[in-house]
């Protein structure tokens, strides 16, 4: 994982997006036109209202083009009171359209060409991809030099908001809810990898990009880095290394060779966050514990130590077998060698089973006692 030390952060947070412009390795793959669309091309694609998915060939509702004024009105002049978040791209405001629909409006800050490129990719990808576990893009605005994206409003914010730094008066996410979120996120990824044609590599899977509905149903968001996956006999797509520190697969970080298995690694990191309640990267932790994957490696090889991985906020309210199985799936996703990582379809099946077990345990009150190392050892 030492390769990450060469990353240059361009993001504001601890767990920041990173970009390595690795020169000779950075050639964009010919034919992977989505991320290379020119301004003229994508405007035509979107504003002609084709609403036709080149991936599925089915008709879809196209994203709407909004005027800047309309969005200013919706957010009451981008009032700070309506500010719901801020990422490396810019601020996110809650707003209400004239139709009464609640939306999240993301206003891109003016930080150059790359921001625009990601904006284009986001609009194109979300115009083509439609699934109940992907956030809906309602529209966009390209008035003058303004670039804004309008999404369905996700009332519970991001998974990151619920998993880390939980205030004492707030109920932490239950194990059952965590499994529900894992299953939904896996289904979203399965759609990208297996149903989209050609497949889509998400490239930015992290807890901040998993948004939550009122009932904690998850939706993947932020497709500005997504790439069309390899087609034909090709095994990978070559690209500049982009992603978020702590979530990036090691082989991708080192070689720039992007495969579907890069996403599986990132998914493994999210699973690890769900299990442990620890951030992928946490500079406030002591040395040796700051990188979650490095911290977890010694635990994976010793079942008796699995108990020490569980989020203390769960207070042992986890069916023990589910914990063991969830950790086993996570360890497979985090295999150093991509070929040993499972396919997303298999992960969905395994997680669905785990989620159903968690619901059963909840329904019938079959809870394990608070997890103690000794009690786990007795069971084993
Ligand atoms: N559709 C939405 N509905 C509700 N809240 C949203 C929505 N989109 C984003 N947010 C909020 O805005 C925050 C910032 O999102 P954004 O995607 O801009 O940045 P990020 O994903 O946290 O980081 P980065 O883009 O820098 O990688 C999210 O964490 C979430 O709380
Ligand atoms: Mg995001």
Q: What is the distance in A from the centroid of ligand 1 to the CA of 131?
A: 19
For the chain, what's the residue count? Answer: 380
Query: Is residue 209 within 6 Å of ligand 1 at its C-beta?
Result: yes
At residue 17, does pLDDT exceed 60? no
Mutate to test the pocket of ligand 1, among 87, 96, 160, 165 (most ligand atoms within 8 A of CB): 87
Q: What is the distance in A from the centroid of ligand 2 to the CA of 298?
A: 31
| 3-class secondary-structure state, position 353 | helix
Average pLDDT, the chain: 81
Going by DSSP bridges, is the β-strand pair 137-141/64-65 parallel, antiparallel, or unpaired?
Answer: parallel
Q: Which of 143, 169, 204, 222 is catalytic?
A: 204
At residue 39, does pLDDT exceed 80? no
73, burial (CB in 10 Å: exposed 0-12, middle 13-18, buried 19+):
middle
Residue minimizing CA distance to atom 13 of ligand 1: 85
Residue minimizing CA distance to atom 11 of ligand 1: 85
Q: Which helix (H) or strand (E) holds 143?
A: none
Ligand 1 atom closest to residue 209's alpha carbon, by position in its atom list: 21
At residue 71, does pLDDT exceed 70? yes
5, burial (CB in 10 Å: exposed 0-12, middle 13-18, buried 19+):
exposed
pLDDT category, 359, cuts 50, 70, 90? Answer: confident
Ligand that comes closest to the CA of residue 84: 1
Query: Is residue 316 within 6 Å of ligand 1 at its C-beta?
Result: no
Query: Is residue 355 within 6 Å of ligand 1 at its C-beta?
Result: no
Query: Is residue 92 within 6 Å of ligand 1 at its C-beta?
Result: yes
At residue 370, does pLDDT exceed 60? no
pLDDT category, 58, cuts 50, 70, 90? Answer: very low
pLDDT of residue 354: 94
pLDDT of residue 88: 82
In 3D, which of 251, 254, 264 has the Cα closest to residue 202? 264
pLDDT of residue 227: 79
Task: State the binding site.
Answer: 106
Ligand 1 atom closest to residue 106's alpha carbon, by position in its atom list: 18
At residue 324, does pLDDT exceed 70? yes
Q: What is the distance in A from the centroid of ligand 1 to the CA of 86?
A: 6
CA angle 357, 363, 367 (to 5 degrees): 70
pLDDT tens, position by position, 237-288:
766 667 788 999 999 999 888 899 999 999 999 999 999 999 999 999 999 9
pLDDT category, 6, cuts 50, 70, 90? Answer: very low
At residue 45, does pLDDT exceed 60? no
Residue 204 annotated in active site: yes
Query: Is residue 17 within 6 Å of ligand 1 at its C-beta?
Result: yes
Task: State the binding site for ATP.
Answer: 106
Across the range 61-71, mean pLDDT stands at 91
At residue 46, does pLDDT exceed 50? no
What is the rounded distance in angstroms from the CA atom of residue 229 to the CA atom of residue 199? Answer: 5
Q: What is the distance in A from the centroid of ligand 2 to the CA of 352?
A: 25
Query: Is residue 221 within 6 Å of ligand 1 at its C-beta?
Result: yes
At residue 50, does pLDDT exceed 50? no
26-152 has CATH 3.30.200.20 classification: yes
Q: By percentage, how much of the chain surpasses pLDDT 90?
A: 62
Residue minimizing CA distance to atom 7 of ligand 1: 104
pLDDT of residue 331: 98
Query: Is residue 226 within 6 Å of ligand 1 at its C-beta?
Result: no
Separation in Å, CA 163 to CA 179, 225, 270, 277: 13, 24, 11, 6
pLDDT of residue 237: 74
- Residue 227's DSSP bridge partners are 201
At residue 20, does pLDDT exceed 50? no
Q: For the chain, which residues make up each domain, given as ranges? A: 26-152, 159-356
In 3D, which of 293, 208, 220, 272 has the Cα closest to residue 15? 208
What is the separation, in whole angstroms, between the first and last Cα of the chain?
A: 32
Q: Helices marked H in 193-279 — which ranges?
A: 250-255, 260-276
Phi, psi of 51 (to 5 degrees): 55, 25
Is there a contact between 341 and 333 (Cβ–Cβ < 8 Å)?
Answer: yes
CATH of domain 159-356: 1.10.510.10
pLDDT tens, position by position, 168-224:
999 999 999 999 999 999 999 999 999 999 999 999 999 999 999 999 999 999 998
pLDDT of residue 110: 76
Ligand 1 atom closest to residue 135's alpha carbon, by position in its atom list: 1
At residue 29, does pLDDT exceed 80? no
């Amino acid at each position: 994982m030492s390769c990450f030390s060469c990353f240059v952060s361009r993001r504001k947070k601890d767990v920041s997006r990173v970009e390595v412009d690795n020169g000779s390795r950075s050639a964009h793959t010919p034919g992977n036109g989505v991320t290379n669309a020119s301004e003229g091309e994508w405007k035509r694609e979107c504003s002609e209202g084709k609403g036709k998915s080149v991936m599925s060939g089915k008709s879809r509702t196209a994203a709407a083009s909004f005027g800047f004024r309309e969005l200013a009105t919706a957010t009451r002049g981008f009032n700070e009171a309506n500010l719901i978040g801020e990422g490396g791209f810019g601020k996110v405001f809650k707003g209400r359209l004239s139709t009464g629909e609640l939306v999240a409006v993301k206003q891109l800050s003016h930080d150059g060409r790359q921001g625009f490129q990601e904006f284009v990719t986001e609009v194109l990808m979300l115009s083509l991809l439609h699934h109940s576990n992907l956030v809906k893009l309602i529209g966009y605005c390209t008035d003058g030099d303004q670039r804004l994206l309008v999404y369905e409003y996700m009332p519970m914010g991001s998974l990151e908001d619920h998993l880390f730094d939980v205030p004492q008066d707030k109920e932490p996410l239950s194990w059952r809810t965590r499994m529900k979120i894992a299953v939904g996120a896996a289904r979203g990824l399965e759609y990208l990898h297996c149903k989209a044609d050609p497949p889509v590599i998400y490239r930015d899977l992290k807890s901040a990009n998993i948004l939550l509905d009122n009932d904690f149903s998850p939706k993947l968001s932020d497709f500005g880095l997504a790439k069309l996956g390899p087609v034909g006999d090709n095994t990978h797509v070559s690209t500049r290394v982009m992603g978020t520190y702590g979530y990036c697969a090691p082989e991708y970080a080192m070689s720039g060779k992007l495969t579907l298995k890069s996403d599986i690694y990132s998914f493994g990191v999210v699973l690890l966050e769900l299990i442990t309640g620890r951030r992928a990267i946490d500079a406030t932790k002591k040395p040796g514990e700051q990188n979650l994957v490095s911290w977890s490696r010694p635990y994976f090889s010793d079942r008796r130590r699995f108990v020490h991985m569980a989020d203390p906020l769960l207070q042992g309210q986890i069916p023990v077998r589910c914990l063991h199985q969830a950790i086993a799936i996570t360890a497979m996703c985090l295999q150093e060698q991509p070929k040993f990582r499972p396919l997303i379809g298999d992960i969905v099946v395994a997680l669905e089973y785990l989620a159903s077990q968690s619901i059963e345990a909840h329904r019938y009150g079959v809870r394990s006692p608070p997890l103690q190392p000794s009690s786990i050892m007795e069971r084993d």
